[in-house]
Structure 1
Amino acid sequence: MSMYGLFTTRGFCLSMNRSVFVPYLGQRYATSHGSSFGRNGGLNQRWKPWFQGKPRSLSSIGPCQTSQHPSREYRRIALELRRRGDFRNVDDLSDFEFNELYLDAMPLGPRELMDRTAPKTSTPQSLIDHQSSPSFLQPHIYNPQSSSWTSFGNENRTSLKRGDILKIASWNLLFSVPAAAARASAALAYLQTMFGQEPHNLVVMLQELRRESLEAILEDKWARQNFSLSDTEPPGFHYADDESFDRKPSRIPSGYFTLMMVSRNLPISNCFRVPFVSEMGRDALVVDIPVSEDHDPETPKRSLRLCTTHLESLYTGRELRFLQLVQVSALLKGNSSSQGQRIYGGLVGGDMNSTDVSEHNAHRAPEVGLKDVWEDEPAPTPPGRKPFQKDLTYGKARGNTWGYQCNGAKSRRRLDKFLYTGSIETFALSEAQDTTGKLGRFGIGLKTKVGSNDVWVSDHFGIAVGIKIV
């Protein structure tokens, strides 16, 4: 794999002339458990280059560094932050903010050059065919008698039938800024207002949770009363077999992760994670909900498969994102990791990180073959605006979900999506803050009080859709 020079991951930057072509540098994770590069104490772990020594102090050494002193690129980014009146440390930036600032701080500027000159790469068939073994989970439900989260059981829960509907919400809650617990609590309070005190047939998919976020959810009264949870502890990442990782650990603690919240009235036949081939420990979290056959409603023989994921980040992760989407498609179609289940239909929701316009067509590739909820109805024509006129719709006609609630972001993107396959029909949810076609958005403009400051609950808007089993 090779790429036109910018940087391979956030842990490594190169200063170069634009005409220089730089081969991809192999990287590996620190081999000791718990090792981290970043100021978040393991919550924002960094990959380190083969030749890079362990930083002595991140107060004096930045993530883009190849010596004992901050690199020129690191200093440029820090200066760009100060120019914008933003006094955060470079290590506190999210991946997208880091990319935006790095590209803006480059001497010759426009990022479009990268898109025009980047060599086309193809995904090896051996990687497309690769599917890792699942790691099974035991969902938990809150027991008020014991005041604890206990193992979930399917007793007294009725399987779904044809014609039944589910409401699905997906939201990336941003791991890389402070007050994770307060922001997670505010997110749940907003969802409660949106879907009601006692929602039924609701599935909430969350991405970029931290331990603090999860602890806030476990303590939340609405979550305790209404949902079973896929996880009550941060998951560990089991890396897939892949020769590109040298001397990798078999399992490392996760810094941020996904979670599924399933209405407690719904049965669950399977819950598991499948690790991706990934440089960032990304995976697919899967929940199977049984569907009764018409001729024998008491004997569920099929499942509706729901999945949430956070595909590889950064501009340089495009090839891995496609491979991961291929893996998700195989899961949703029951081609692998089905554990004896016949899959009636499947839907994935989450942060697809479509940083390049071409990636909005990736779901149509023969290796993927999924439908995009955004395309279930023709998109409206974006309204005309005068130069420098603010978009008061927050990119509604384009379905944008990112770029409006983060410092310094210039691009606006549709990063969050629902993709699906099988015997499923989609419909718009009236609960959403705004709706275009079948896709709803929510959390637009949402802030919460942290100390004396109002902070964004997330840099992403949430998305919502209704599905019907047909």
Structure 2
Amino acid sequence: MALELKRRGDHRKVDDLSDFDFNYVYLDAMSESLEFRDDTSPKPSTLQAPTDRQANPNFLHPQKYNSQSSSWTAFGNKDRTLRRGDDLKIASWNMFFPAPAAAARTSAAIACLRTIFGQSPENLVIMFQELRQESLQAILEDEWTQQNFVLSDTEPPCLDERDEEPAHTPSPYFTLMMIPQNLPICNVFRVPFVSEMRRDALVVDIPVSEDNGLRVSKRSLRLCTTHLDSLYTGKELRFHQLMQISALLKGDWSQGQTIHGGLVGGDMNSVDRSEHNTHRAPEVNLKDVWEDEPAPAPPALKPFKRDITYGKARGNTWGYQSDSARTRKRLDKFLYTGPIETFALSECQDTTGRLGRFGIGLKTKVGLGDVWVSDHFGIYSTVYETSSASVINPS
């Protein structure tokens, strides 16, 4: 870091940097070393307030692996439905794109998920953030993925067009959703944000039936994954992005389907403590799975004693597995609206209330040493749709 500051002509000492400036310089330097430098990326002093605009969705064609042709092909199973009351398992994990060995780390992440959820998981949706081309290739070639999941993307999405960028430029890092093959899909699309980092919302609509699935469903559960703008200076942008997600989850547009409830999972980048209340703002009005049950009391620690629970009482997901991290935060969340309930977990290695964390301490061998699979813990929850009026449009 000292050398990086010197290269930039920044005369501050490393210890003089705020946590946010430290992490910004680190990530920017890492992305440059991987030839992912985007000279239009914001510096902390250049973020502008978002402007109002309507973003058009970019519809995708979900892909299923065809073992006969050994290739990924278009998937369609609209004749199936998720029955109301069926459990839906949802896992979310940010894979930290600047770190080296993306393919090896992603393969280790998939192996971890396979260990947790079994060789043939049912009703398991996996949400990834910060994947790279190498990460995606590792997922496409993974046998467990091929046998069990439909993918929202089999190629990196393209950046939104700007004057200084050629059209159809692949994004250097992106989100992905893995949907179980036994579930139906009626829509998959991306909606770009007003964003200085070209972030978006990836949306999947899953039809839900009232009975045993024999009738064609006219109602859908909307699932979304996202990676909100980073850095402390992106706070205003994150608020507007969350407003946009809330509108998506509460929308009534789904190509003939009524949106009956929705959930978003991902890296919300809540770097400021006040942002843990953003979901309660009237413009957002979503529920946080973390708050569905009271959190346990933090452990009483003696001076200089390490918290061996990794911030369990606070639901921390970041700050323990990165050389650049000097603060510990709950950046990864599930937020939801509509007739959805969550319930306590037992499958993951660490659980608190209705939200579980996994990937804690997980490393994989690269060359002669071990590296962290990610600087984030993964999070997991089990949800089901109800018809109770008391949980519709929660405040």
TM-score category by the smaller chain? 0.7 to 0.9
Q: Aligned match of 1:437 in 330, 350, 353? A: 353
Is residue 2:366 matched to residue 1:457? no
* Aligned residues of 2:203 and 2:224 also touching (Cα < 8 A): yes
Deviation string 1:16-67 (CA, Å, 9 cap, x unpaired) is xxxxxxxxxxxxxxxxxxxxxxxxxxxxxxxxxxxxxxxxxxxx9x6x7xxx
1:322 is paired with a residue whose SS is helix
Select 1:333's aligned residue among 228, 250, 264: 250
Cα distance, 1:427 vs. partner? 1.2
Q: Is the radius of gyration larger for structure 1 or structure 2?
A: 1
Equivalent residue of 2:198, what SS? coil
Partner of 2:219: 302
TM-score (norm 2): 0.86
Q: Percent identity?
A: 66
Of 29, 45, 52, 1:91 maps to 29
The aligned amino acid for 1:225 is Q
Deviation string, structure 1 residues 404-457 (Cα, Å, up to 9, x no partner): 000142210000000000011011232111111100000000000111111100
1:131 aligned residue (42, 54, 71) = 54
Whether the 8 Å CA contact 1:161–1:293 is kept in 2: the answer is yes
- TM-score relative to the length of structure 1: 0.73
- Tell me by how many angstroms 1:122 deviates: 12
- The answer to whether the Cα contact below 8 Å between 1:293 and 1:299 also exists between their aligned partners in 2 is no
Matching residue's letter, 1:154: N
Distance (whole Å) between structure 2 residues aligned to residue 368 and residue 469 of structure 1 = 21
Does residue 362 (structure 1) correspond to residue 278 (structure 2)? The answer is yes
Deviation string 1:136-188 (CA, Å, 9 cap, x unpaired) is 00000000000001100106x62012111100000001100100000000000
Structure 2 residue 102 is the aligned partner of structure 1 residue 180: yes
1:66-215 map, 5 Å: 70-73=7-10, 76-77=13-14, 91-92=29-30, 127=52, 130-154=53-77, 158-215=80-137
Q: Which runs of 4+ in 1 moved over 6 A?
A: 121-124, 245-250
- How many residue pairs align between the two structures? 365
Q: Which moved more, 1:317-326 or 1:290-299?
A: 290-299
Q: 1:273 is matched by which residue type in structure 2?
A: R
Classify the secondary structure of the residue corresponding to 2:138: helix
Instruction: Supply the distance in 1 between the matched residues of 2:108 and 2:212 (Cα, whole angstroms).
Output: 45
Question: Do the aligned partners of 2:94 and 2:128 also contact (CA within 8 Å) in 1?
Answer: yes
> What's 2:344 paired with?
428
The one of 240, 260, 263 aligned to 1:347: 263
Distance 1:451 1:74, change over 3 A: farther
Residue 271 of structure 1 corresponds to 188
| Cα separation, 2, equivalents of 1:169 and 1:441 | 9
- C-alpha change, 1:131 and 1:384, in structure 2 (3 Å) is farther
Preserved contact between residue 205 and residue 254 of structure 2 (Cα < 8 Å): no
- Going from structure 1 to structure 2, the CA distance change for 1:232 and 1:319 (only over 3 Å counts) comes to same
Checking the alignment, whether the CA contact within 8 Å between 1:334 and 1:341 is kept in structure 2 is: no
User: Are the aligned partners of 1:123 and 1:323 in contact in 2 as well (CA < 8 Å)?
Assistant: no
Tell me which amino acid in the other structure corresponds to 2:329.
R
Change (3 A) 1:394 1:338: same
Q: Is the 8 A contact 1:345 1:424 kept in 2?
A: yes
Shift of 1:395: 0.1
Secondary structure of 1:253's aligned partner: coil
Letter in 1 for 2:57: P
What CA distance in whole angstroms lies between the structure 2 residues aligned with 1:146 and 1:410?
48
Measured after TM superposition, the shift of residue 378 of structure 1 is 1.1
Aligned partners of 1:148, 1:246: CA distance in 2, in Å?
35
Which consecutive unaligned segments of at least 5 residues does structure 1 have? 1-59, 81-87, 95-113, 240-244
- Residue identity in the other structure for 1:272: F
Q: 2:200 aligns with which of 283, 291, 305?
A: 283
Residue 400 (structure 1) aligned to one of 316, 322, 329: 316
Q: Does 1:448 align with 2:364?
A: yes
Aligned-partner Cα distance in 2 for 1:132–1:246: 18
SS at match of 2:299: coil
Give the distance between the partners of 1:393 and 1:296, measured in 2 at CA: 42
**Shift in Å at residue 379 of structure 1?**
1.2
Alignment RMSD, CA only?
2.8
Q: Give the equivalent residue in structure 1 for 2:37.
A: none
Deviation at 1:89, TM superposition (A): 10
State how far apart, in whole Å, the 2-side matches of 1:267 and 1:74 are: 56
Conserved? CA contact 2:80–2:213, under 8 Å: no
Q: Does 1:316 align with 2:233?
A: yes
